[in-house]
Amino acid sequence: MAIVAGVDSSTQSSKVELRELETGRVVGTGSASHPVVTPPVSEQDPEAWWAAFEEAMAAALAEAGVDSIDAISVGAQQHGMVALDAGSVPVHPGKLWNDTESADDANRLVAELGGAEAWADAVGSVPVAAFTITKLAWLARSHPDAWARVARVLLPHDYLTHRLTGRFATDRGDASGTGYWSPSQGAYRFDLLELIDAERDWSQTVPDVLGPLDAAGDWNGAVVGAGTGDNMAAAMGVGLRPGDATISIGTSGTVYAVSPTPTADPSGAVAGFADATGRYLPLVCTSNAAKVVDAVRSLLGVDHAEFDRLALAAEPGGPVLLPYFDGERTPNRPDSTGELHGIRTDVTREQFARAAVDGVACGLLDGFDALRQHCELGGRVLLVGGAARSDAVQRVIAGMTGTETVLADADEAVATGAAVQAAAVLEQVDHSVIQERWGLGAGTSIDGVDCGDVRERYAAVRDR
């Protein structure tokens, strides 16, 4: 029985999923936590990712009752910066996507190239603090001694692939989130990196970009796929089809769809990424999603089930929560905080819970509206991610979308998508062959609740 592994190395943890190659049946899982981070400074030691991967893999192998696998791929949090010296040791802790210390550097880089439209034309996206290129600019400016020792620059998934294979490699999907690789050209834009350091040989600093079915090497006899970013892996894991959109509700929120052509949005709302299969993945990302719901739930002192009951018991028309708790990426407000509007002395626990759900949902649906301006969406909306399991979150979003909303069956979409890639590379077949064989893309339709005019009231607060 051939077995493939998919890895999800997220902000919070590493998860491993082992599946039978032929049927896709899950035979083993494992997980291990990463160090807790709190923006604006969000850093982790990359060694912690590797240690968590080893722990999670050991647990998955034990559950499956096997001691080896046939193929593996890694999906990991996008955008982060791992700067290594000549001995492959980090010169600084890994900067994560939600670290906002490089906000000023992002503004400077956008201005130096001639504005947002110039960046959208160059790489399909307008850099904000999340993007790797801004973090490199921050490191060069803030820590010149560390910068002088940099020999290689990797993304989180690249680092884990390097630990598995010894190779410095990435894929087009994750590379498209750096701010210095162009999806439309399929190539690095070294001229953009020269805005940071014109003396460096960038061709020797960045990793090779592998194709969708290329192997990066092997690990303990298993074929290692190129890996990809978490959103690109999740798109494969849910079997995302043209016309569908995915709303992923984890620590951050993302809204994305597959497209046959590259996109470029000079407003910066939609990032014009590539996907992991040879297509494109226009995407909107919000920094605040599940953690907003969790924070309010904690303040109310209730468990998940009681929080859902409270939120669904509230009638529309209560307070409006602007959920920019730890700065926001879309819209680009890195220094913002959350705001609660329309609160009165008769406010109830139910209204407070519903305001949290409404605020997160409105932010995500703003992203959905922006996405519809750049690609054709007429199919389903697929919900994935930890907070998508919340009955209140599901039903409020379904009430706002105006289209069929489905809770995707994929419990761990990123790990599943990475396993799809591993299987496709092992068999050298298109990813859709694996998705169809494994029955990916199914889900449960959700009935929405009445949301009243909350989106209009939310927009009024957002645009004040």
Question: What is the per-residue pLDDT for 392?
Answer: 98
Question: What is the per-residue pLDDT for 278?
Answer: 97
**400, 362 Cβ separation under 8 angstroms:** yes
Q: In degrees rounded to 5, what are phi and psi of residue 273?
A: -80, 165
Question: What is the per-residue pLDDT for 1?
Answer: 86
| 3-state SS, one letter per residue, for the chain | CCEEEEEEECCCEEEEEEEECCCCCEEEEEEEECCCCECCECEECHHHHHHHHHHHHHHHHHHHCCCCCCEEEEEECCCCEEEECCCCCECCCEECCCCCCCHHHHHHHHHHHCCHHHHHHHHCCCCCCCCHHHHHHHHHHHCHHHHHCCCEEECHHHHHHHHHHCCCEEEHHHHCCCCCEECCCCEECHHHHCCCCCCCCHHHCCCEEECCCCEEEEECCEEEECCEEHHHHHHHHCCCCCCCEEEEECCCEEEECCECCCCCCCCCCCEEEECCCCCEEEEEEECCCHHHHHHHHHHHCCCHHHHHHHHHHCCCCCCEEECCECEECCCCECCCCCEEECCCCCCCHHHHHHHHHHHHHHHHHHHHHHHHCCCCCCCCEEEECHHHHCHHHHHHHHHHHCCCEEEECCCCHHHHHHHHHHHHHHHCCCHHHHHHHHCCCCEEECCCCCCCCHHHHHHHHHCC
Question: What is the per-residue pLDDT for 250?
Answer: 87
Question: What is the per-residue pLDDT for 178?
Answer: 98
Copy the structure tokens of residue 192: 């953009």
Q: How far from the centroid of its chain's Cα atoms is residue 46's Cα?
A: 18
Using CB atoms within 10 Å of the CB of residue 402, give its burial: 0 to 12 exposed, 13 to 18 middle, 19+ buried. Answer: exposed
Question: What is the per-residue pLDDT for 251?
Answer: 81
* Active-site residue list: 230
**335, 324 Cβ separation under 8 angstroms:** no
User: pLDDT tens for residues 389-438?
Assistant: 999 999 999 999 989 999 999 889 999 999 999 999 999 999 999 999 99
Q: In degrees rounded to 5, what are phi and psi of residue 142?
A: -90, -30
Copy the structure tokens of residue 147: 């910068």
Residues of the chain with pLDDT under 50: none
